[in-house]
Amino acid sequence: MEREFTSASFNQFLGEKKLMASKCTKCGALYLPPRPLCIKCFSSEMEWVEMKGKGKLAAFTTIYVGPTFMIEEGYDRNNPYCTGVVELEEGPGISARILGVDAKKPEEIKIGTPLVVDFVERGEGEAKRTYLAFKA
């Protein structure tokens, strides 16, 4: 059964450790997170394609005051974390948590750093969710 092209399906795939994009079967445009409708040619004929999970850092920010779940993980003013936009080998960019870089030394984080996908699991049982991250 085909899954709907929504962020809910995208998150479901993350739980299966798959980074999936929707691809327009008419013009080939890739959407990540997936879209049900192509904004280039207005076709609604989409298919799922799995991304290889390799890319490079296109932009980043270090975050000192994050959302509650990040504070609960121990991130704060003294222990910042990094999020960024990853440009995938297949073309599209996606924002994700960036691991394996020192968020305390943003001057040492280089645009263009090669990254590979990582799936971060948080919580237990019913509350378990998988978050998209990339690591250097």
Distance CA 37, CA 7 (A): 13
- Based on CB atoms, which residue is closest to Zn ion, 66 or 92? 92
- Smallest gap, in angstroms, from Cβ of residue 118 to Zn ion? 30
Say if residues 122 and 69 touch (Cβ distance below 8 Å).
yes
Instruction: Tell whether residue 7 is a contact of Zn ion (CB under 5 A).
Output: no
The site that binds Zn ion (CB under 5 A) totals a number of residues, namely 8
- Residue 69: CB atoms within 10 A of its CB come to 12
Segment contacting Zn ion by CB under 5 A, of 4-12, 20-28, 56-64, 109-117: 20-28
* Residues β-bridged to residue 122: 129
Token couple for 23: 């691809």
Instruction: Tell whether residue 30 is a contact of Zn ion (CB under 5 A).
Output: no
Token couple for 101: 């870089």
- Residue 17: CB atoms within 10 A of its CB come to 12
- Smallest gap, in angstroms, from Cβ of residue 21 to Zn ion? 13
Segment contacting Zn ion by CB under 5 A, of 24-32, 66-74, 96-104, 112-120: 24-32
Q: Which residues bind Zn ion (CB under 5 A)?
A: 24, 26-27, 29, 38, 40-41, 43
